[in-house]
């Protein structure tokens, strides 16, 4: 996946997570802690919520990895000058 694809995925997951957070009155990180601890039922919504949250965590990890590599390359190219951050293609 490209950085742009990962960012799009994260934003789409944020929309899904926000809807569930509003519906159940709990932020995803708190929900996930309770869910993983076995304190919540295995409802369809909760299984989906858990999957969305885990996917977001995975995408954020991949984003950090790819962004670090990208920034390292920008620093290499810029030498001592400012980084040349440009809009993504497409």
pLDDT by residue, tens only, the chain of 90 residues? 899 999 999 999 999 999 999 999 999 999 999 999 999 999 999 999 999 999 999 999 999 999 999 888 888 888 877 877 778 775
C-alpha distances (whole Å) from 14 to each of 30, 33, 55, 59 are: 15, 18, 11, 12
The whole-angstrom distance between residue 48's C-alpha and the CA centroid of its chain comes to 16
| Dist. CA 57–CA 45, nearest whole Å | 18
Domain that holds residue 7: 3-77
How many domains are there within the chain?
A: 1
Task: Report if residue 84 sits inside a domain.
Answer: no
**Is residue 18 situated within a structural domain?**
yes
Provide the pLDDT for residue 78: 81
- Evaluate whether residue 40 is within a structural domain: yes
8 part of a folded domain: yes
**Is 88 a domain residue?**
no
């Amino acid at each position: 996946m490209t950085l742009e694809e990962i960012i799009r995925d994260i934003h789409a997951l944020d929309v899904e997570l926000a809807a569930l957070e509003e519906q159940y009155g709990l932020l995803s990180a708190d929900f996930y802690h309770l869910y993983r601890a076995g304190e919540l039922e295995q409802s369809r919504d909760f299984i989906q919520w858990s999957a969305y949250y885990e996917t977001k965590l995975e995408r954020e990890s991949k984003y950090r990895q790819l962004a670090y590599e990208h920034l390292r390359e920008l620093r290499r190219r810029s030498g001592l000058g400012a980084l040349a951050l440009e809009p993504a293609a497409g």
